[in-house]
Structure 1
């Protein structure tokens, strides 16, 4: 196989790949065998039709086309490895030449244009010390947590005044389209300002007292007339306001197992400090990635960048052309950071020779499935159908590489060593986990193995 590479941009390359005849012939033979299983030729059993007869029966072009479809992915993958090109998107493939007959000596030649990760050098991790901002715990943090607890024990008390934001109103609703009443509800409890019902309801209720009513226009959000405009009449039956308990020892006894408010506050501070350890680990992670990226001028692949920006805007319900400039700028900055982080962590995983096992992939996808309340097997099979297993494997590799990299450096807070063992684990933990895993393979092989196992289990 002959490979030539032309760099079109720092993040885009065009590979021209010429496949030798002795490399292409096995694919031709396999294509003939596959086709022989599908055709019927008098005098021969299926799957036992000679190759020459297959060529005559379906035409050499069909055989060669089948072979090319299998050859190109394999040769493209080998070319990437040989030239150390790390793709960030699917390639654009163009077949330039291919044999037209079994006796034609023309070699298969194709081009692959692909957006790639740029070349860059990561800093040496050995002996590196990274300063991290301290995750502070303030009295305001304690008071805010205490106020949240206080609100859980609030009671609703009737008030003789107009409703305002934060009040709870008991209301009757009637929706009409023309002269027809299409929906009605009575005795509904609604918190003003929550925005959990019809558009315009908060504005209509603001300032109404018990016994008063008004009409406003809104779009129905359910039922047979979903999406249609309607005139909605709302009547206020009662208005209640939250009454918060007084912060004292009695409240502490009612809301917790503690006898005094001071004891409750101490427990809240203890819990917040535990949370602060997690925030400290997050700050260390961010500082670690920033250190890796410091001084690197990382060009971003234009096509991948645009695709991600468009997808983010679409997910947010925004049109790329008409999106608010500030919101679009925010999305662009988020995508730029995401791509930079991904490229750096991918390079780190390669530098550290991170291996991804079956258990790694399954546990990662299983945890995501659990978050969404899905069956792990069904979730993973859905990813397989959409060709997204590879992306999951990449995420696992990035995570493992980041943990291994963070364990290789030192962190300090205010000049004092920062111990992150509770969050990063240790190399011994990884070694033990690896010993318990029967096989540990490279990312692509692990993904394929997981997919095969899950498919078999499903059957």
Structure 2
């Protein structure tokens, strides 16, 4: 097999692959056998028809077509491996030449254009030291967590004053387009300042008292008139403020197993310290990746980047036309960082010769299924059927490579004290247990499938 590679972009190549006759013949023979199982030829048992008879009965072009369909993907993969290229997307295949008969000396020739991982030289991690800021727990952190706990036991009381941020209001909404009501809702409960409904609603409600109303212009975000501008009439029916319980021993007994407020505060501080250690481990991970990228020029594949930006905007309820320059710039920055991190971690996994076993992938996907409350077997089957298994394998490889790399370096806090991150990094040759957010991030492709399946199940249940 002859392979030539032409660089089209820093992260895109065109492979021209010419396959020798003796390499293509096995695919032709396999195609003939498959066809023989499907056709009836007088004088021969099904599946036992000689190849030359198959060529005559169905035509060599059909045989060659089957051979090309089955052979090109495998030959393409072999070409990538031979040239040490790592594809980051599906290739665009163009078959140029195919033999027209069994005696034709024409060689199979095809091209494949594909975005590939750029080659980068990572620094040697042996002996590498990385400083990570020392986590601190302040009285403010403890107070904030106690306030969150108080909110769980808070009550809403009606107030006779203008609404302000943090209040809960009951409102009636009426969206008017061209003088006609396009959508209306009554008795909607809304927390002022949460910004979870229409743009401009919080500003319109701020300062209104019970019984007052106003009108503002907004864009409808759902329903038949989604995306259209409308005059939104809003009326405040009631204003309620949240009343929190006093921080005392009675509250400690009501909200926890402790008898005194001091005991509760001590426990809350301990929880804050544990969270701080977790944040320090996350900071160590980010610092490790940043250290690997330090001083490197890492180009990103344009096609993948554009697709990911579009997905990012879509998830935010935007598209390329409706998104602002700031939103597009933010999405681009996020995507570029994600791609560069992936490229670095993939390269690291190769450098460390990380191996991903079937058990690694199965356990990983099973943990994601558990987080989504799904049957692991059904979820894994869905991953395979959706063509996401390769992505899951890659994500597990990145995770294992990152953890192995982090175990090989020394992390110190700002005082020069060596950090013990073993509870977060696990043991050598095993995947450490990650917190839920990191697991979901690492299995973004798998989680996306879980979301789709969950939504589909909900839709079926509503029918």
TM-score tier by shorter-chain length is 0.7 to 0.9
What corresponds to 1:303 in structure 2?
303
Distance 1:208 1:309 in 2: 39
Name the counterpart of 2:358. 358
C-alpha displacement of 1:143:
1.6
CA distance in 1, matches of 2:347, 2:291: 14
For 1:273 and 1:193, the matched residues in 2 are separated by 30
What are the residue-to-residue correspondences of 1:20-419 with 2, within 5 Å?
A: 20-169=20-169, 189-194=189-194, 207=207, 209-210=209-210, 238-413=238-413, 414-419=415-420
Tell me the SS of whatever aligns to 1:323: coil
Query: Does residue 425 of the first structure (1) align with residue 413 of the second (2)?
Result: no
**CA 1:389 to 1:160, structure 2 compared with 1: closer, same or farther past 3 Å?**
same
Shift of 1:400: 0.4
Measured in 1, the distance between the counterparts of 2:8 and 2:200 equals 54
Q: Secondary structure at the match of 1:427?
A: coil
Cα distance change of structure 1 residues 141 and 4 upon mapping to structure 2, 3 Å threshold:
same
The alpha-carbon deviation at position 259 of structure 1 amounts to: 3.5
- Residues 219-268 of structure 1: per-residue CA shift (max 9 Å, x gap): 99899999999999877664432222233333333333333333322221
Q: Distance in 1 between matches of 2:267 and 2:102?
A: 81
Instruction: Show the counterpart of 1:444.
Output: none
Which residue pairs with 2:443 in the alignment?
Answer: none
Structure 1 residue 119 displacement after superposition: 1.7
* Contact kept? 1:168, 1:239, Cα under 8 Å: yes
Counterparts of 1:309 and 1:179 in 2: how far apart (Å)?
Answer: 37
Report if the CA contact (8 A) 2:404-2:429 is conserved: no
Secondary structure at 1:46's aligned position in 2? Answer: coil
Q: In structure 1, how many angstroms separate the alpha carbons of the residues matched to 2:238 and 2:37?
A: 77
Whole-angstrom distance in 2 between the partners of 1:92 and 1:182: 47
Aligned residue for 2:109, secondary structure, equals: strand
Q: In the superposition, relative to structure 1, how do residues 261 and 113 fare at CA in structure 2: closer, same or farther (>3 Å)?
A: same
TM-superposition CA deviations, 1:35-70 (whole Å, max 9, x none): 122223333333222222221222111110110111
Identify if the C-alpha distance between structure 1 residues 193 and 294 changes in structure 2 by more than 3 Å, giving closer, same or farther.
Answer: closer
**In the aligned structure 2, how far is the partner of 1:304 from the partner of 1:207?**
47
Gaps of 5+ in 1: 432-459
Q: Is the 1:211–1:238 contact (alpha carbons within 8 Å) kept by the matching residues of 2?
A: yes
- Provide the rounded CA distance (Å) in 1 between the counterparts of 2:223 and 2:342: 45
Is the 1:2–1:17 Cα contact (8 Å) retained in structure 2? yes
The count of aligned residue pairs is 431
> 3-state DSSP class of the match of 2:5?
strand
Take 1:346 and 1:205, find their aligned partners in 2: how far apart are those partners?
Answer: 50
**Whole-Å separation in 2 of the counterparts to 1:106 and 1:58:** 20
Bigger Rg, which one: 1
- Cα distance change, pair 308–163 in 1 and its aligned pair in 2 (3 A): closer
**Worse-superposed segment, 217-226 or 163-172:** 217-226
Q: Is the 8 A contact 2:172 2:184 kept in 1?
A: no
Question: Per the alignment, do residues 307 and 242 of structure 1 end up closer, same or farther by CA in structure 2, a change over 3 Å counting?
Answer: closer
Secondary structure in structure 2 of the residue aligned to 1:283 = helix
Residue 332 of structure 1 deviates from its aligned partner by 1.0
In 2, Cα distance between equivalents of 1:319 and 1:229:
17
Residues 40 and 419 (structure 1), Cα distance of their counterparts in 2 relative to 1, 3 Å cut: same
Deviation readout 1:394-422 (Å, 9 max, x if unpaired) = 00000001111111111111211011111
Matched-pair contact (CA < 8 Å) for 2:28–2:63: yes
2:15 matched to which residue of 1? 15
Provide the aligned C-alpha RMSD in A. 3.3
Secondary structure in 1 matching 2:48: coil
Q: How has the CA–CA distance of structure 1 residues 76 and 181 changed in structure 2, closer, same or farther, with 3 Å as cutoff? A: closer
**Cα distance, 1:175–1:409 mapped onto 2, change above 3 Å:** closer
The 8 Å contact of residues 403 and 431 in structure 2, kept in 1 or not, is answered as: no
Q: CA deviation at 1:272?
A: 0.5
Does the CA-based 8 Å contact 1:175-1:184 persist in structure 2?
Answer: no
- Equivalents in 2 of 1:70, 1:19: separation in Å? 14
Distance 1:375 1:209, change over 3 A: same
